[in-house]
Amino acid sequence: MTPSDRPATALNLPKGRLNGSALAVLGASAFCYVTAETLPVGLLPQISAGLHVDEADVGLLLTSYAVVAALSTIPLTALTMRIPRHVLIAVTMVIFVVSQAAATFAPNFLVLGGTRLICALAHGVFWSIIGPITARLAPPGQAGRATALVFVGNSLAIVAGVPIGTAIGQWLGWRVAVGTMAVGAAVCLVLLMKFLPKLDPLPHDRETRLGTQLRASVAIIRDRKVALLCAITGLLVIGHFAAYTYIAPLARRDGGLKGIGLSALLLGYGAAALVAGYAVGRFVDRRPGPAMTVLLAVMAVSVAALAPVLGTVPTVLATLLWGGAFCAIPVCLAATVLRIAPQARDAASAVYVVSFQIGIGGGAFVGERLTSAGYLGALPLLAAGFAVIALALVVPARGLFPSRLDEAAEMELAGGPRH
AA letter at 97: V
Residue from 274, 2, 21, 28 nearest 137 by CA: 21
Residue 5: what pLDDT?
38
State the DSSP H helix or E strand holding residue 248, giving kind and residue range, or none if neither.
Answer: helix 247-255
Residue 17: what pLDDT?
67
Domain 16-402+410-414 fold is Growth Hormone; Chain: A; (1.20.1250)
Residue from 185, 180, 186, 162 nearest 38 by CA: 162
Residue 6: what pLDDT?
39
400 CB-near residues (< 8 Å, 6+ apart): 225, 228, 229, 289, 336, 340, 394
Instruction: Return d(Cα 246, Cα 252) in angstroms, integer.
Output: 10
Instruction: Return d(Cα 286, Cα 402) in angstroms, integer.
Output: 9
The three-state secondary structure class of 285 is coil
Q: HEC states along 26-82?
A: HHHHHHHHHHHHHHHHHCHHHHHHHHCCCHHHHHHHHHHHHHHHHHHHHHHHHHCCC
pTM (two decimals): 0.75
| Cα Rg, the chain, nearest whole Å | 21
Instruction: Return d(Cα 397, Cα 301) in angstroms, integer.
Output: 22
**How many Cα atoms within 13 Å fall on the side-chain side of residue 26?**
31
415 CB-near residues (< 8 Å, 6+ apart): 8, 9, 11, 136, 199, 200, 202
On whether the CB atoms of residues 166 and 158 are closer than 8 A, the answer is no
Residue from 116, 97, 277, 73 nearest 183 by CA: 97
Residue 404: what pLDDT?
59
Q: List Cα–Cα distances, 242 to 60, 179, 378, in angstroms.
A: 16, 29, 10
Instruction: Return d(Cα 219, Cα 411) in angstroms, integer.
Output: 24
Instruction: Return d(Cα 55, Cα 47) in angstroms, integer.
Output: 8
Residue 370: what pLDDT?
87
Q: How far is CA 397 from the centre of its chain?
A: 24
Tell me the pLDDT tens digit for each residue of 275-314: 888 788 777 777 888 889 999 999 999 999 998 888 888 8
Residue 115: what pLDDT?
95
Q: Which residues of the chain have pLDDT under 70?
A: 1-17, 55-56, 59, 202-218, 254-255, 258-259, 342-343, 403-419
